[in-house]
Structure 1
Amino acid sequence: MPETNFTFRVEDDLKDRFVGAAQTNDLSASMLLREFMQNYVEKTEHDAWFRQEVEQGLVEAASPEVKLISHEDVVARVRASF
């Protein structure tokens, strides 16, 4: 996959501490930042997917064709299956 540069400003002290912490763990600062970015994007995409699924479920549950089952009935059915 092609790569590109990503430049941003950060305080000198934070940069030095971050690079030092990365080196302590035998990692590069760029590797850690790349991993953080990937995790953040994946989390954001998953959250968007999950919210969409919940919204769809709520719409489906609000349909008059849906037969609702009370909590007590669910508990009784589960207990009866054991």
Structure 2
Amino acid sequence: MTKNARLILDIDADLHDAFLAAAEAENRPASDIVRDFMSDYVGSHEKPDAEYWAFVERKVEAARKSLRAGKGLSNAEVEAKFAARRAAIANKNA
């Protein structure tokens, strides 16, 4: 990062106090924890990279090729197959 910026927040006083107490209990500055929260939030909203999309495209094309070759199952067949699996697991755990 080349420069710093400030963020001013209006929060409930009880939440503020509880947050500072929790940060102190971990011996961490509250600002470090907020930066971590912000980084995690931004990271969770980033678009997947080109390598991921290439992977997805390969998987989709493989599935389409399989369907064209007549290897696909109908929805009813899939439902029946997994109902049988669920029943087998339920019987095993009973």
TM range (shorter): 0.5 to 0.7
Q: TM-score, normalised by structure 2?
A: 0.54
Cα RMSD of the aligned pairs, angstroms, is: 3.0
Q: Which runs of 4+ in 1 moved over 2 A?
A: 69-72
Write the distance in 1 (CA, Å) between the matches of 2:53 and 2:28. Answer: 37
Note the alpha carbon deviations across 1:12-44, whole angstroms, 9 max, x for none: 110000000000000011110000100111111
Structure 2 matches for 1:48-59, cutoff 5 A? 48-49=47-48, 53=53, 57=57
Identify which of structures 1 and 2 has the higher relative contact order when contacts are C-alpha pairs closer than 8 Å and 6+ apart. Answer: 1
State the identity as a percent: 26
Does residue 36 (structure 1) correspond to residue 37 (structure 2)? The answer is yes
> Structure 2: where are the runs of 5+ without partners?
74-94
CA distance in 1, matches of 2:32, 2:65: 52
Q: Which amino acid aligns with 2:36?
A: E
1:4-23 aligned at under 5 Å gives the runs 4-23=5-24
For these two proteins, the number of residue pairs brought into alignment is: 63
Structure 1 residue runs of 5 or longer lacking an equivalent are 73-82
